[in-house]
Structure 1
Amino acid sequence: MTHVFLYGTLRHSGLLEIVLGHVPHDRLKPARLEGFHVARAKGHEFPLIVERAGTACEGLLLHDVTPQERARLDHYELGFGYRLRAVDVQGEEALVYFPDEGLWEPAEPWSLQEWRTEHWPYVRFAAGEIMSLMGQVDAAEVARRFATINQRAHAQALARGAPQPTDRRSALHREDVALRRKTPSHFGFFRTDTLKLSHPLFGGTDSADIEREVFLTGDAALVLPYDPERDRVLLIEQFRMGPYGRGDLYPWTLEPIAGRIDPGEEPAAAARRECFEEARIELDELLPVANYYPSPGEVSSFFHTFVALADLPETGQGHGGLESENEDIRTHVLSFCDSEALMRSGEINVGPLLHLLLWLKAERQELRRR
């Protein structure tokens, strides 16, 4: 029978249960692999196993791996550039998932405890998505979409941890919804699922089964930079697929600075990062405005919005964005009065920017008096 030595994140029982579909306690035992140690992959949060004389790698030896368990482990590991290799683990031959040579550079020693604290809250959702795609999307394609999988997973972690007042609305919970079926209908840069479900009605009964598509994305941080001394705002302009897909003759839109929140990142940190990436500006104070779903009937997008106090010494246009993300962004620094005129004319036609400018209009005099 085949044995597999598990190191790194698969030592975490919660992750192992998601990947295998169960935890085979009777076939798992602690073990050490001599001549190897585990390091963090440079620039990433996941572990690498690295050959090094005089060291030993802590792990779990899974005995008598079933064909189904092997297939599930392969789906989770092989698409990311790992290959199985036989080694001796305390006198027993076992297979280990080794990364392809040169694929990643090892950094400092990797810590399961640190990973559990910092990354497990969203990794559990990412692993669930990866395993749900087994048999529907090949492992290599899953690996290519790993960044967006993690963004969606982090959004789920944020949704679970956010305060949820129910003073006026119903206290009905997601657990009250009966999910019959969830099928990925599109898996690319974005993901679309087809859901079949029923939910409680306000009259006390349950709805008939409903089948709908939902467009799944990660959470985003949106920022409107404002210079209270000069009474100026900074807007960005870029080509957008949404207006183009709708048939708009002018699919370049004026917007606040915005970007997806990276896995494990706080919304405020994402706001500051995006301001530097898209407009090359450093922020002073960051003022939370509101957190909301822009279109809850069809997409999972959730916006964390801010107005940021910043130094905007020059009016006019500039250029920003990251080439690595295919961003071509033009920045506009203009007076607040000019931004009001753009709202009145309809040239500003993006909801979050309208919302942030209207918030700023209400708070502007107080901010200028500071």
Structure 2
Amino acid sequence: MREGKRTVQITRSANGTDATDTHRAAAGRAAPPAATPAPERSHRELAELLERVNVVAVCESNDMRNVGDHWSAAGRTVQWVQRLGGTISLYEAASFQRLGKHSPLQGKLVVVGGSGLVGPGRFESCVESIFEQRPAAVALWGIGHNVQAGVHRDPTSGWRRRVLKDGVTRLWPEWLARADAVGVRDWDAGLPWVPCASAMLPVFDELRDIEPEHEFVVLNHYERGIDTAQARAAGRDFEHLTNNTEDLRGTLARLAAAKVVVSNSYHALYWALLLGRGAVAVEPNSTRFHGFRWPISYASQADWLIAVEHARPAPEALDQAREANLEFSERVLQIGRSLGLVHPREAVNPGLGVPVDPVPGA
């Protein structure tokens, strides 16, 4: 394990952007407007999707505005979950509560995750509603803390304890105890560690050995820009991307083409580590950025270029992330088999990820 913390106008912590735009963004320019959100499907459409499956994968959303959130879903990244289940959004799952005993989630194995679903607000409310719909079992796969407002760090326990405006302190919400299997992406947080399931994707094996062409690449969240004026003034050669894209393979290839990934998007930082690259988090705006198992650097808009010089890779990250996901996959699969929701003779390899095809025209 690498050193815990170092200060150089920035802090490296041993404890991540979501993806990129398929276009090369002008350096320093804010990301393009988000794509139109995908409409939620009708209950009739969802019922038809789920009536023939015993496994339901619940993801944060179906939008492709954020490639990281899209590919954090176990139903899109883990082969057996994708093959045996149907994938719906968190909001679609919550909407079933009004159907009462007719909810399509009743009697199913429901796999929720990943993404930062833990924090006061609509995400937690949606997840809680799933437990009220009488599923046979619920697995929380790679979810994590994501608190942005009304919270500060408790100096006695670090980022993991949320000290809210009313003075209430809590580590994890009580509803996690209702799940049959829990794996959180936050390291050393008092619960089993299972990072984002996107680590299972075989595309990482293809891209890790790419020889970097650039010292760094900048990938900003489509809602928050990163100031690259200083880097441009210094004549640095780099690509500037956003996470507003459908092209996961292209995004990962462009991250792998640099030694260091500079980002304010969780998944871009996480993927940088899995690719064996250094990671610099620019002005992290949520607790989600402080739960990485491996060292990343933290910087402001003004000094991230300095942080690039101190960012170090974590070559062990991919193997460790996959090992944790494999163990959790085996556990969830066993729950499904024990409940009769996955046939005992069904041929399943719990360690296989989903192949990622190139996006036509990207």
Whichever of the two has the greater Rg, that structure is: 1
- Normalising by structure 1, what TM-score? 0.22
Which protein has greater RCO, CA pairs closer than 8 Å, 6+ apart? Answer: 2
TM-score, normalised to structure 2, is 0.23
